[in-house]
Amino acid sequence: MEELIKKAEEEGIDVEDIIINAIRNKSEDPSISIKLRIEIAEKYINEAKKYLENGDIIQASEKAYKSAEEVIKALGEKLNTKEYQLATKEGRWFTYYLSSVASLTEWSRKGWSSAYILHVWGFHEGKLDIDTVKRYITDVEEMVEKAKKELLKV
């Protein structure tokens, strides 16, 4: 099973998205996928903080980015944006879809901008120092907390 997931990810297939969409389609609760995405975002931000504690700024940066990505997908679904509809139809979220959705609220713009900087300059380029990464991760953590309040309203 692990080999299958690894191969899918190498091919650019987001396995988590496929599973979340399948659960949403089978559930009687239309908000289940939003709840799942927020839970995953929390898991990733907690992992980011643990990596940071261990001085691993590269993995901390990537986990924070993954956290923000899940929040933005949840926001797109909650607002039923055209980007969400396209991602559902096409079976994947492109970065420009995420950026468009992130622009819709102040809290998501700030969190997404910080996450994207972490993704590029912390993860891919490895150019950020630990104090810079900490500050950007704080922004992403605040975004996750705001998303819990805003997106999980009943």
**How much is the pTM?**
0.91
Q: pLDDT per residue over 122-142, tens digit each?
A: 999 999 999 999 999 999 999
Q: Which residues of the chain have pLDDT under 70?
A: 154
Q: Is 1 helix (H, G, I), strand (E, B) or coil?
A: coil
Can you tell me the distance from the alpha carbon of 87 to that of 63, in angstroms, rounded to the nearest whole number? 22
Helix axes 95-102, 57-79, angle to 10 degrees: 70
Query: Residue 80's pLDDT is what?
Result: 96
Query: For the chain, which domains are there?
Result: 2-151 (1.20.120.330)
Task: Give the dihedral sign, CA 92/95/96/100.
Answer: positive
CB 118 within 8 A of CB 137: yes
